[in-house]
Amino acid sequence: MKLVVQRVAHASVEVEGKITGKIDEGLMVLVGFGENDSEKEADYLARKVSKLRVFPDDDGKMNRSLLDIKGKLLLVPQFTLYGKVKKYRPSFHRAMSPDRATELFDYFTEKCREYVEVETGVFGAFMKVDLLNNGPVTIILEKDFED
C-alpha cells in the first residue's frame, strides 16, 4: 500500500462538475493498493497518517499531527501509484484489481475516520484535484507486510 501525503492549506476533488470532497488545513493523500495488500496494511497506515507530525509547532518545527491541529484528511484513490515504467508506457499489473481495491479504499476510509474527519474522491472516476500545498511538504508512506 502506498500513500503520497501532502500538507495542504486547502484541497478539493471534483467529479463531473460536482465537488465530492473538500478540506481546509490538513492532508491530501493519494492512496494506492498493491495486488497483495490487505486490511492489515490499511490499519497500520490509517493510524500512521493520522498521527504523522508534519504541522509546525510554535517554534516552527514539524511536531504536530492532524489530531493536534484538528485538521482533515482528503483521500484520493489512485491506482497509478503502482505504475511501473520500463519503456514509455506504464504498466499497472502490480495494482490491486478494481473491485477489491474499492472495498479496501472504503475500509481504509472508515479506519481513518476512527481518528480524524475524512473527505474522499470517487474510486474509478475521472477526478480533478485542486490543492494548495502548504510548505511544500510531501511524504511517501508505504507498507507491505509481504516484504
Please tell me whether the peptide bond between 77 and the residue prior to it is cis, using omega within 30 degrees of 0: no
Instruction: Say whether 105 is catalytic.
Output: no
Percent of the chain residues past pLDDT 90, beyond the cut? 88
Instruction: Say whether 80 is catalytic.
Output: yes
**Catalytic residue chosen out of the listed positions 6, 78, 109, 120:** 78
Where do runs of H (alpha helix) occur along 26-97?
39-51, 66-69
Residue segments in the chain with a per-residue pLDDT below the cut of 70? 145-147
pLDDT value, residue 25: 97
The two beta strands, 72-77 and 117-120, are parallel
Q: Tell the burial category of 83 from Cβ atoms under 10 Å away from its Cβ (0-12, 13-18, 19+).
A: middle
CA–CA distance, 104 with 83 (Å, rounded to integer): 18
User: Is 146 inside a domain boundary?
Assistant: no
Name the residue range of residue 125's domain.
2-141
> Does the predicted model carry a pTM greater than 0.85?
yes
**Catalytic residue chosen out of the listed positions 55, 79, 105, 123:** 79
User: Is 147 inside a domain boundary?
Assistant: no
Domain containing 11 — which CATH number? 3.50.80.10
- The strand pairing partners of 118, in sequence order, are 73
H or E segment and range at residue 102: helix 98-113
pLDDT value, residue 93: 87
Instruction: Work out how many domains the chain is built from and give that number.
Output: 1
User: Is 106 inside a domain boundary?
Assistant: yes
| pLDDT tens sequence across 106-116 | 999 999 999 99
Instruction: Say whether 78 is catalytic.
Output: yes
Residue among 15, 25, 42 at smallest CA distance from 111: 42
**Catalytic residue chosen out of the listed positions 80, 92, 138, 145:** 80
pLDDT value, residue 146: 58
User: Is 42 inside a domain boundary?
Assistant: yes
